Amino acid sequence: MISSNMEKALNDQINAETYSAYLYLSMSAYFADQGLPGFSAWMKAQAQEELFHSMKFFNYVNDRGGRVRLGAIAEPPLEWSSVVDAFEAALDHEKHVTSLINSLVDQAIEEKDHATNNFLQWFVGEQVEEEDSASDIVNKLKLMGQAAGGLFMLDRELGQRTFVPPSPEEE
């Protein structure tokens, strides 16, 4: 069993992960509207990954005898001033999610909830990857500046991404 405080915190994280998917779908629509199908596809894959994260939390709460409580998902922004601005927003969002995960770990340690702490360690590692991935794209965008050819090449590169759920051994 998990404590009622941990149950609430994990339910809040389900909401945050689902919001992340909404945010990335909104960014996907923005990029599609800008004529950048590769950027759009990258964000769709990112949204699928966030829904996978949400379901990991969902299943964990159920597995520990808690009650999943789904709340309203906030509406994400619809527009960004540029491609760089959108990816900087994605990076900032991932940093925010990292802080949420870290707070959950702190709570699990405080409550001596070793099972939840163990469960959360996968997300700690995942957030390192998430921030690195977004940061890498921001850096590439800044390096290329206004070079349309660079944007075209990066759009093609990002369009290759697909979401593949990790195997149970990787989780």
- pLDDT of 166 above 70: yes
3 state SS of 66: coil
Helix %, strand %, coil % for the chain, to 5? 75, 0, 25
Report pLDDT digits (tens) over 154-164: 999 999 998 88
Tens digits of per-residue pLDDT, 113-141?
999 999 999 999 999 999 999 999 999 99
The two structure tokens encoding residue 165: 């759920």
CB 7 within 8 A of CB 66: yes
157: DSSP letter: H
56-103 confidence digits (pLDDT tens): 999 999 999 999 999 999 999 999 999 999 999 999 999 999 999 999
CB distance 90 to 77 below 8 Å: no
Say what the pLDDT of residue 78 is.
97
26-65: per-residue pLDDT in tens? 999 999 999 999 999 999 999 999 999 999 999 999 999 9
pTM: 0.93
Reference 130, options 73, 72, 91, 80; nearest CA is 91
**4-158 architecture in CATH?**
Up-down Bundle (1.20)
